[in-house]
């Protein structure tokens, strides 16, 4: 072997890891694992529960307006939940078989999906939410005795307020994504090419 | 399964802790960041231990996890650059026993520091080489071809020589 490499190898191997409380580490890892499992189960329960709840509400909500409102908001929620589930980082199961390039490509894809939730799906959700709430308010305001103009004003203010709230929330989230995800994608792209 | 997993993890930790730590230190170039990365790698090993196929080589599997985790530590890289600007001396600290060992420790820290200034992928390659991995193993872990690994190692050697002079 190259004497230079051999010399570096000897120096390199002099370095040892410091003491670590492995029992405590395992206990902490168990806690994290349990929390992750609970979150996954909660997500798996939340989806069918939303659907079942909507089905149960069908006969209860005889009013078409309420029913449409709840359905639209529920649809928006399901859409976001599906996207979150699709973009989560799964466990690296066959790490030894998976090539680094494939791993990086997969990771970039997941990160892009995460960005898409904010840039596309959150806007769909906003639209469905505003539509749903407004349809619900049609029923509420129908028997209020208010003039048509007042009702239109309430709908407009409500829509504008909701839009503003969602607009700033999405903007904030986009900014966060740009700081966190974009450099990571650029870095991974660079690695993919190297 | 839980008890088995703990036992297996303890064994893996005992067998590979120094190798993982050295790769982390070579990649990060300073002990606090290497410690963070080391813990993150251990967490990933724990999370994926059940998915590991026993017929595969555990060493290659762990090195791959270390490599992927190290390559994704952009935030820490930024932290490292900030530290470098604030405190140019970020060499690992070593206890002074005697002149000889002190010189040796200086050489070790110089080597680790020089490795940490290489390109990210090159730090991994030289780290794996110094951990006795063959070109084929390095190629499997990094996703490069064996011939590319060879070319890169030659380049790394030249670059390290220059830095260590």
pLDDT tens sequence across B104-119: 888 899 999 999 999 8
Count how many domains chain A has: 1
Q: Which residues of chain A from 100 to 139 reach within 8 Å of chain B, CB to CB?
A: 100-104, 107
Segment A86-104, tens digit of pLDDT:
766 554 444 444 455 666 6
* Nearest Cβ partner for A184 among B13, B64, B74: B74
Taking contacts as CB-CB distances below 8 angstroms, the residues of chain A near B102 are: none
Segment A10-32, tens digit of pLDDT:
999 998 888 777 787 787 777 76
Q: Residue A61: pLDDT band by 50, 70, 90 thresholds?
A: low
Q: Which residue has the tokens 């994504």?
A: A177
Computed over every residue of chain B, the mean pLDDT equals 81
Taking contacts as CB-CB distances below 8 angstroms, the residues of chain A near B111 are: 8, 11-12
Nearest to A69 by CA among A124, A3, A14, A134: A134
- Yes or no, beta carbons of B56 and A29 under 8 Å apart: no
Higher pLDDT, B36 or B156: B156
Map out the domains of chain B as residue ranges: 2-164
A121, A84 contact by CB (below 8 A): no
- Yes or no, beta carbons of B143 and A99 under 8 Å apart: yes
- Yes or no, beta carbons of B44 and A92 under 8 Å apart: yes
CA angle B23, A22, A11 (to 5 degrees): 30
Q: Tell me which H or E stretch contains A36.
A: helix A22-60
* Model ipTM value: 0.80
CB of A142 within 8 Å of any CB in chain B?
no
Closest Cα in chain B to A26: B6
**Domain enclosing residue A178, as ranges:** 3-193
Closest Cα in chain B to A180: B75
d(CA B158, CA B162): 6
**Looking at residue A105, what is its pLDDT?**
75
């Amino acid at each position: 072997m190259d004497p230079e490499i051999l010399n570096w190898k000897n120096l390199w191997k002099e370095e040892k890891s410091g003491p670590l409380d492995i029992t405590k580490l395992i206990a902490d890892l168990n806690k994290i694992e349990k929390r992750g499992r609970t979150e996954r189960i909660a997500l798996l329960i939340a989806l069918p529960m939303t659907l079942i709840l909507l089905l149960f509400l069908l006969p209860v909500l005889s009013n078409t307006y309420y029913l449409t409102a709840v359905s639209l908001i529920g649809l928006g929620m399901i859409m976001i939940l599906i996207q979150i589930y699709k973009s989560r980082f799964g466990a690296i199961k066959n790490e030894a078989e998976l090539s680094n390039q494939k791993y990086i490509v997969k990771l970039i894809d997941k990160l892009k999906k995460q960005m898409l939730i904010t840039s596309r799906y959150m806007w769909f959700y906003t639209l469905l939410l505003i539509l749903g709430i407004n349809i619900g308010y049609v029923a509420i305001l129908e028997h209020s005795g208010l003039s048509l103009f007042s009702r239109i004003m309430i709908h407009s203010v409500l829509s504008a307020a909701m839009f503003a709230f969602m607009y700033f929330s999405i903007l904030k989230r986009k900014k966060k994504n740009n700081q966190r995800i974009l450099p990571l994608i650029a870095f991974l792209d660079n690695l993919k090419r190297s | 399964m839980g008890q088995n997993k703990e036992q297996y993890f303890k064994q893996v930790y005992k067998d590979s802790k120094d190798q993982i730590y050295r790769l982390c230190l070579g990649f990060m170039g300073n002990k606090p960041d290497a410690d963070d990365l080391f813990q993150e790698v251990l967490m990933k090993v724990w999370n994926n231990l059940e998915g590991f196929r026993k017929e595969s080589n555990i060493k290659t599997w762990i090195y791959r996890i270390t490599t992927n985790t190290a390559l994704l530590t952009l935030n820490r890289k930024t932290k490292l650059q900030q530290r470098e600007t604030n405190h140019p001396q970020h060499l690992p600290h070593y206890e002074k026993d005697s002149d000889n060992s002190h010189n040796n420790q200086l050489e070790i820290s110089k080597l680790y520091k020089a490795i940490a200034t290489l390109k990210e992928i090159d730090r991994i390659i030289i780290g794996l080489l110094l951990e006795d991995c063959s070109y084929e193993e390095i190629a499997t872990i990094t996703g490069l071809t064996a011939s590319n690994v060879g070319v890169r190692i030659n380049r790394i050697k030249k670059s390290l020589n220059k830095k260590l002079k």
